[in-house]
Amino acid sequence: MSVATKPKLSTKPVMEPRAILGPAGNRVRVSVESKRRTEALKKPQRPKVPVSQSPPSVVQSNVSVDSSNSSDSSSSNSSFKTESSRKTVKRNGVKQVKPKVASTADAAVTEISPAISGPLKRCDWITPFSDPLYTSFHDQEWGVPVHDDKKLFELLVFSQALAELSWPTILNKRDIFRKLFDDFDPLSIAHFTEKKMLSLKVDGCLLLSEPKLRAIVENAKVMLKVQQEFGSFSNYCWGFVNHKSLRNVFRYARQVPVKTPKAELMSKDMMRRGFRCVGPTVVYSFMQVTGIVNDHLVTCFRYQECNADAKKEIKPKTEETERLTKDVENICLSH
248 shares a domain with 161: yes
Rounded distance, CA 158 to CA 137, Å?
13
212 shares a domain with 321: yes
As a whole number, mean pLDDT of residues 135-146 equals 94
| 3-class secondary-structure state, position 294 | strand
How high is the mean pLDDT of the chain? 74
Q: Which residues pair with 21 in a beta bridge?
A: 28
- Is the pTM above the cut of 0.85? no
Amino acid identity of 146?
V
| 3-class secondary-structure state, position 129 | coil
Q: Are 268 and 89 in contact (CB under 8 A)?
A: no
- When divided into structural domains, the chain yields a total of 2
Residue 234's pLDDT is 96
- Residue 42 falls inside a structural domain: no
* 3-state DSSP percent of the chain in helix, strand and coil, to 5: 60, 0, 40
Annotated binding site for Zn(2+): 123, 138, 296, 300
195 shares a domain with 155: yes
Share of the chain above pLDDT 70, in %: 56
pLDDT tens column, 253-303: 999 999 999 999 999 999 999 999 999 999 999 999 999 999 999 999 999
- For the chain, list the strands marked E by DSSP: 20-21, 28-29, 246-247, 293-294
* Residue 166 confidence (pLDDT) above 80: yes
Residue 327's pLDDT is 66
- Residue 5 falls inside a structural domain: no
State how far the alpha carbon of 46 is from the alpha carbons of 38, 43, 87, 95, in Å. 17, 9, 10, 18
- Residue 180 falls inside a structural domain: yes
Nearest Cα residue to 324 out of 248, 266, 264: 266
**DSSP secondary structure string, 13-53?**
PPPPPPPEEPSSSSPEE--HHHHHHHHHHHSPPPP---TTT
Q: Which domain holds residue 169?
A: 132-334
Q: Are 124 and 252 in contact (CB under 8 A)?
A: yes
pLDDT tens column, 297-324: 999 999 988 888 766 654 444 455 556 5
* Residue 77 confidence (pLDDT) above 70: no
Annotated binding site: 123, 138, 296, 300
- Residue 35 falls inside a structural domain: no
As a whole number, mean pLDDT of residues 84-94 equals 47
pLDDT class for 170, splitting at 50, 70, 90? very high
273 shares a domain with 143: yes
pLDDT tens column, 191-240: 998 888 888 877 656 678 888 989 999 999 999 999 999 999 999 999 99
Residue 329's pLDDT is 64
Q: What is the CATH number of the domain that holds 271?
A: 1.10.340.30
